[in-house]
A and B are shown apart, each in its own frame.
Chain A
Amino acid sequence: MIDDSFIEKLKVEFLESTEDSLDLIEEMINQSLQGQVGNDKAFEEIMRQVHSIKGTAASVGFPITTTIAHRLEDYLEGGTSITEPLGSGVGQYCDKIRGIISDGKEPPASETASMLRSLPMSHDGGDFDINVLDVEVLLVSPSKMITKIVRNELMQCGFRVVRAVGAMEAFQLAVRSQPDAMVFAQTLDELAGADLERAFKAMALTSDKPIGVLTSFSLDHPAWHGLPEDVMIIRTGRIHFPDDMGDFLAHIQSEFL
């Protein structure tokens, strides 16, 4: 059994190495903005550092830092080039992680959701002047294409979007971020979207939140047997998606606006 002093030593190492990673991320942004480093090279290095923090933090007792890094990855995936606004957004994430490093501990669970929501979200919602609302939607899909389309629809309405690629990640994010609404793809790696919905409807934290399921199945498919009545089915494809997505967006808006 590994003793506590070993883990404590690793925590100190983690705090020091994360500080170095944050310095490198900010240096890459500055150098890229000044044209000293190519955009792609800077992006690759930043993603690697963020990915490394995400993978290591929870392993040594900093799970919220892993969640911040996860959201930073999500934020970066929404961008294609390093710009002043993106650099500023990344800086806000870095500041949060620096705060944890400085304290040597993470904020209490009661403060986690509000802290996470104060972070900027991916800005691939187009060039529209959008009034961003304090309404967060958890989008669970392994598909980048589906994510891009649905995230865009949600962001056009001013909703904040946090993405998970699978069920396990969705549970972690839901507990820490406490989303206001959720959209699940029916086809997930570990668990069908309909089963994920049943699970979220059974949890007190998420039981009263609007949920939509993205699917290519028809409305009479057996997968929907026993699904809670208030779960909305959003059919993909040109014929149904605009109406079904519109209905779901209207439902969220009626709940929160």
Chain B
Amino acid sequence: MSLILHVDDDTVMRNLVSGYLKDLGHDVVSAENGLEGMKLAEDIGPDLILMDIDMPVLDGYAATQQLREKGYHGLIAAVTASERVKDLANAVVAGCDDFIPKPLGDDFPDLVKLILQRKDEIGKEELLTEDEFFD
């Protein structure tokens, strides 16, 4: 069982993801924008953050980057409807470990399980800088 923070400005999406994750036996906390998510992450130290990208107040890129700068070393997965490699690369550069595509499909629980399997490897690999990523 893991503690998962889900950050998304869409109420239906928050409820849907929360339902899926609780069904898998995880504890779930939700936030409705990047700023709120960042504060909650600092308070609760989740094992995984599912981060929407396009949000008001503070978007997913900025929230992820700031969390990494503040020393958060847990897993962060971008949840995005974008298929553009550039957007996904930006998410990785900001500090995301993986991504989950929207709309969510039946494979969502399996994707979360796969990402959480990497929990034990945290800290073993250094985050890439933007220059290193594009090298």
Name A's B-contacting residues (CB within 8 A). 1-2, 6, 10, 13-14, 17, 48, 51-52, 54-60, 63, 66, 142, 165-166, 168-169, 189
Cα distance A169–B81 when bound, in Å? 11
- Identify whether the interface residues of A are mostly helix, strand, loop, or mixed: helix
- Count of chain B residues with Cβ under 8 Å from any Cβ of A? 22
Could you list 18 A-B pairs, sorted by A, with CB under 8 Å? A2-B19, A2-B23, A10-B12, A48-B54, A52-B9, A52-B10, A54-B81, A54-B102, A54-B103, A55-B102, A55-B103, A56-B13, A56-B16, A58-B103, A60-B12, A63-B103, A66-B103, A168-B83
CB contact list, B19-52 vs A, under 8 A: 19-20, 23
Q: Quick one: given A169-B83, A189-B83, are A10 and B54 in contact (CB under 8 Å)? A: no
Q: 11 additional contacts, CB 8 Å, given A55-B10, A55-B81, A56-B13?
A: A1-B23, A10-B16, A13-B12, A52-B13, A52-B54, A55-B13, A55-B80, A57-B103, A59-B102, A59-B103, A165-B84
The smallest C-beta distance from B100 to any residue of chain A, in angstroms, reads 11
Pick from A6, A56, A165: contact of B103, CB under 8 Å: A56
Q: Which A residues touch B105, using CB under 8 A?
A: 59
B117 within 8 A of A: no
Flag if A2 contacts B20 (CB, 8 Å): yes
Cα distance A166–B84 when bound, in Å? 8
Cα distance A168–B105 when bound, in Å? 14
Cα distance A248–B69 when bound, in Å? 51
The smallest C-beta distance from B31 to any residue of chain A, in angstroms, reads 16
B122 within 8 A of A: no
Cα distance A10–B15 when bound, in Å? 7
Cα distance A60–B108 when bound, in Å? 13
Q: Quick one: given A6-B19, A59-B13, A60-B16, are A51 and B85 in contact (CB under 8 Å)? A: no
Flag if B85 contacts A17 (CB, 8 Å): no
Contact with A along B98-131 (1 / 0, CB 8 A): 0000111100000000000000000000000000
Contact with A along B42-83 (1 / 0, CB 8 A): 000000000000101000000000000000000000001101
- Which chain A residue shows the least CB distance to B11? A17
Flag if B81 contacts A142 (CB, 8 Å): no
Flag if B85 contacts A189 (CB, 8 Å): yes
The smallest C-beta distance from B10 to any residue of chain A, in angstroms, reads 5
